[in-house]
């Protein structure tokens, strides 16, 4: 696999699964402060997902990984 593809895969990988699972564990154990930790982890995951989702196409374009875009052009009438 070429380096540009690896960089792209690193950008769009799934994130937050392990921190979310660990938050679930500490919450179920009723660890002191787990509510605050869970809130911070949740906001971090949401922020990262929004950032990555909104920049995926831009990153692919910058890495020259997009194939010809099949966007139909409007015909003038």
Report the pLDDT averaged over residues 6-25. Answer: 91
Among positive and negative, which fits the CA dihedral 42, 48, 51, 56? Answer: negative
pLDDT tens per residue, range 31-58: 999 999 999 999 999 999 999 999 999 9
CB atoms within 10 A of CB 49: 13
Q: Is the pLDDT of residue 72 over 70?
A: no
* Cα distance between residue 40 and residue 46, in whole Å: 10
Q: Is the pLDDT of residue 61 over 70?
A: yes
Q: What percent of the chain has pLDDT over 70?
A: 87
* Cα distance between residue 33 and residue 73, in whole Å: 55
* Cα distance between residue 41 and residue 20, in whole Å: 7
């Amino acid at each position: 696999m070429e380096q540009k593809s690896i960089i792209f895969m690193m950008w769009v990988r799934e994130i937050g699964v392990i921190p979310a699972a660990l938050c679930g564990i500490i919450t179920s154990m009723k660890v002191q402060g787990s509510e605050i930790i869970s809130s911070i982890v949740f906001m971090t995951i949401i922020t990262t997902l929004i950032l990555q989702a909104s920049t995926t196409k831009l990153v692919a374009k910058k890495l020259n990984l997009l194939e010809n875009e099949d966007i139909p052009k409007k015909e003038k009438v």
